[in-house]
Structure 1
Amino acid sequence: MANLSDMRPVYVIGVGMHPYQFASDTLYIDMGLTAVRGALEDAGIAFPEVESAYIGCTGIGMAAGRIMFNHLGSTGLACTQVENASASGSSAFQMAVLEVAAGRRDVSLAVGVDKTGDQLRAVQKEKVSRLSDTATIPLVKYALMAEHLKKEKGLSAEDLAMVAAKNHTNASKNPNAQFRKPRTVEQVLASTLVAGTTTSLMCCPRGEGAAAAIVASEDAIRRLGILGGKPIRVTASVLQSETPQVGREIPSVTLAQRVAEMAYDEAGIKATDLDCVELHDAFAIEEILYTETFGLAPKGAGQHFLRDGGSAIGGRCCVNSSGGLIGQGHPLGPTGLGQVHELTRQLRGENGERQQPGARIGMAHMIGLGSISIAHILTKD
């Protein structure tokens, strides 16, 4: 099986976003084009230079991308729509990267854009009976997981609140975030209980928005005159789905670990080489679990890594400097590309108040319904 390291190098040359927001009358075309135009401006190229485009979305409907791109001109670009639940934008990015790495294109665009839509899952259209009214609700799954881990590893409600307070505070400094108000641990704990001891501020909001990234080959970078410090190399991109549960393991966590380890191997790095990580924190418990799963903290010590400031901006490896899904938001289609946007700016040293000092290697990680897990590693050459 070929790795990215076996193919020609691929670089992110431009990123753009439309701020995430609660449901509104804003047209998806307006949001998507804001992100695309931002990425084009960031790269310093014109739309006709883009040879292919992948559009990640879940709630808009058929042919979303082609209709949107009509407003930029009919250039004949190859256009593919991608749906992979919460990982739709991440998957669109992977497809753009692999197309350039394989030599099929020199410049490719990945854009994620979403409105709330009906969000019907395929299984709901197949008359498959539910195991229970709550069996497929992620909130219930992760709330139960939090209660179990409190007993098993000494987690406290304050630990979960610390995750949320950190990410809300990071988001308050992010002009693209859906939530822009700093929160304290006390405020998180005092917010509405939604399941068990999980409160509303420990959960990500749903909304809408857009994010985009343009990737290119070295040949295109030279031809287009892209500035030397701007391109950020994509050194790994790995996607896998769940395998059957064994014993008491949590399949989505085991899957995330497998994907992270495959990404490290593909990029030729270790977990300790990571300077910043944007990870799937739809619920606060996930960040603690994944910091252990990814090897940022020893097993059973995720809460200590958090308490000691290891995941803070300026810590050993900053986690969710964007605010994560909890603070920046989770509009599904764009979410994974919003992570790429954040890491690209981090590795360029352009992240302002949220800058991780000396950042050179970052990982973006998403979980998608099914479950699937996807990870990309970006590196400053």
Structure 2
Amino acid sequence: MAIFLKDLRPVYVIGVGWHRYQPLSETPYVALGLQAIRQALADARIAWPDVESSYIGTGRLGTAPGRPMLKHLGDTGRPLVHIENASASGSAAFRHACIEVASGMADVCLAAGVDKPPPAQRAKTGIDSLADDAILPFTHFALLTNEYAQKHGVKPEDIALVAVKNHRNGSLNPNAHRQQKRSLDEVLAGKGVSGTLTTLQCCPVGEGAAAVIIASEYAIKRLGTDAGRAIRIAASAASSERPGPHATVDAVITQATIADALQQTGLKPRNLDVLELHDAFTVEELEYVEAMGICEPGQAIHLLKEGAFDIGGRVAVSPSGGLIAMGHPLGPTGIGQIGEITIQLRGEAGPRQHKAAKIGLAHMVGVGAVCYAHILQKS
């Protein structure tokens, strides 16, 4: 019989931190990660020796990058785990940190993500493909954009409205890669990428870092952390690719994974106040809100136009700016989503605060083959 977080002892996010997501710079990844971790420790009001175990999510930095980063905080002899899971690397690191605290093996864990783009290189799987240079992620999602538009009778410019909303949200976020509002005309006039997709409808892949501190109730009391700012992690769900049409694998595993997370809590999609989604391309936001049951298939565009997904609307979708504006450095992305939801549920999100937010969901997929969903709830 499966055991869920709710069956174990309660776990909470008590600290969050970032280094702004940004274009590639000369800043060493060590400096990026340390800023986020130190900010999270300060936010939790604890010291580095209080952390009993660390999980580092990264997609591009190679073997064991956490060691040269964490040694600047001080050698403590505590366990250190590195996790690579494509776009979901940070989400996977967060999940395993939660499990360690929930199981009682530790009382305080760090989950951090950090990444920098490497020099251009081709992955070598050892398997020949006639389409290595033709079928790339943006090609796949350009085709899905056309399919969605034709299936539901909407225009490609309607789908681009996702980017308008998320650029507007990103303009309010000091940690976002893109911090400029964009009109629909500006989004559509951006450099063409594939099909009807322009650069402003695709996520920027730069560098950055994010970190969260996870703790048990015992640790919160022992360390004197402000329990009123602690946000409970109510559910954690993960899955991988299953049989079905390859073109829709992202939506299929999203539907199953989020349904699992909701079932763990007894919540319904209508109970969610804040969503942070894997919107690497505009059409993904529409597919995922429909897959999770926020609305019926084909209705997301209409709700988007009505402002239902705006900050202050029915449910705030990607108030951080999402991957499209917040950015997608890979390793930090899933952890940054947790940080955004945490400050939303605390009521500390400033100009992008969604009023009376109590329940949030973070969702990430990784190369279409893995999916993670976490539900956070204000106590």
Taking structure 1 as the reference length, the TM-score comes to: 0.97
Q: Is the 8 A contact 1:111 1:213 kept in 2?
A: yes
Say which SS state the counterpart of residue 54 (structure 2) adopts: strand
Which residue in the other structure is 2:231 paired with?
Answer: 232
Q: How many Å separate the matches in 2 of 1:286 and 1:12?
A: 27
Q: How many Å separate the matches in 2 of 1:366 and 1:137?
A: 19
- Cα separation, partners in 2 of 1:6 and 1:171, compared to 1, 3 Å: same
Q: Is the 8 A contact 2:146 2:156 kept in 1?
A: no
Q: Read off the aligned partner of 1:235 and give its amino acid letter.
A: A
Q: How many Å separate the matches in 2 of 1:332 and 1:136?
A: 20
Q: Is the 8 A contact 2:250 2:368 kept in 1?
A: no
Are positions 1:94 and 2:95 aligned together?
yes
Which residue in the other structure is 2:316 paired with?
Answer: 318
Q: Is the 8 A contact 1:111 1:337 kept in 2?
A: yes
After TM superposition, the structure 1 = structure 2 runs for residues 294-309 of structure 1, keeping only pairs within 5 Å, are: 294-309=292-307
Which residue in the other structure is 1:22 paired with?
Answer: 23
1:250 CA drift (Å): 1.3
Q: Is the 8 A contact 2:249 2:368 kept in 1?
A: no
Say which SS state the counterpart of residue 225 (structure 2) adopts: coil
Q: Is the 8 A contact 1:205 1:329 kept in 2?
A: yes
After TM superposition, the structure 1 = structure 2 runs for residues 175-186 of structure 1, keeping only pairs within 5 Å, are: 175-186=174-185
Q: How many Å separate the matches in 2 of 1:119 and 1:50?
A: 36
> Which segment is superposed worse, 332-341 or 364-373?
364-373
Q: How many Å separate the matches in 2 of 1:173 and 1:297?
A: 27
Q: Which runs of 4+ in 1 moved over 2 A?
A: 118-121, 133-136
Say which SS state the counterpart of residue 229 (structure 1) adopts: helix
Q: Read off the aligned partner of 1:44 and give its amino acid letter.
A: R
Say which SS state the counterpart of residue 125 (structure 1) adopts: coil
After TM superposition, the structure 1 = structure 2 runs for residues 1-381 of structure 1, keeping only pairs within 5 Å, are: 1-118=2-119, 124-133=123-132, 136-246=135-245, 250-381=248-379
1:240 CA drift (Å): 0.4
Q: How many Å separate the matches in 2 of 1:102 and 1:118?
A: 40
1:58 CA drift (Å): 1.3
Q: How many Å separate the matches in 1 of 2:171 and 2:221?
A: 38
1:137 CA drift (Å): 1.3
Q: Is the 8 A contact 2:166 2:318 kept in 1?
A: yes
1:51 CA drift (Å): 0.2
Q: How many Å separate the matches in 1 of 2:120 and 2:213?
A: 28
Q: How many Å separate the matches in 2 of 1:143 and 1:371?
A: 19
Unaligned 5+ residue runs, structure 2?
A: none
1:59 CA drift (Å): 1.2
Say which SS state the counterpart of residue 113 (structure 1) adopts: strand
Q: Read off the aligned partner of 2:154 and give its amino acid letter.
A: L
- Cα separation, partners in 2 of 1:70 and 1:227, compared to 1, 3 Å: same
Unaligned 5+ residue runs, structure 1?
A: none
Q: How many Å separate the matches in 2 of 1:221 and 1:228?
A: 7
Encode CA deviations 1:263-319: one digit per residue, 9 max, x unaligned: 001122110000000000000000111111111111221111111111000001000
1:193 CA drift (Å): 1.4
1:133 CA drift (Å): 3.3
User: How many pairs align?
Assistant: 378
Q: How many Å separate the matches in 2 of 1:210 and 1:48?
A: 21
State the identity as a percent: 50
- Cα separation, partners in 2 of 1:372 and 1:120, compared to 1, 3 Å: farther
Q: Read off the aligned partner of 1:375 and give its amino acid letter.
A: A
Q: Read off the aligned partner of 1:320 and give its amino acid letter.
A: S
Q: How many Å separate the matches in 2 of 1:133 and 1:21?
A: 28
Q: Is the 8 A contact 1:12 1:344 kept in 2?
A: yes
Q: Read off the aligned partner of 2:88 and give its amino acid letter.
A: A
1:126 CA drift (Å): 3.3
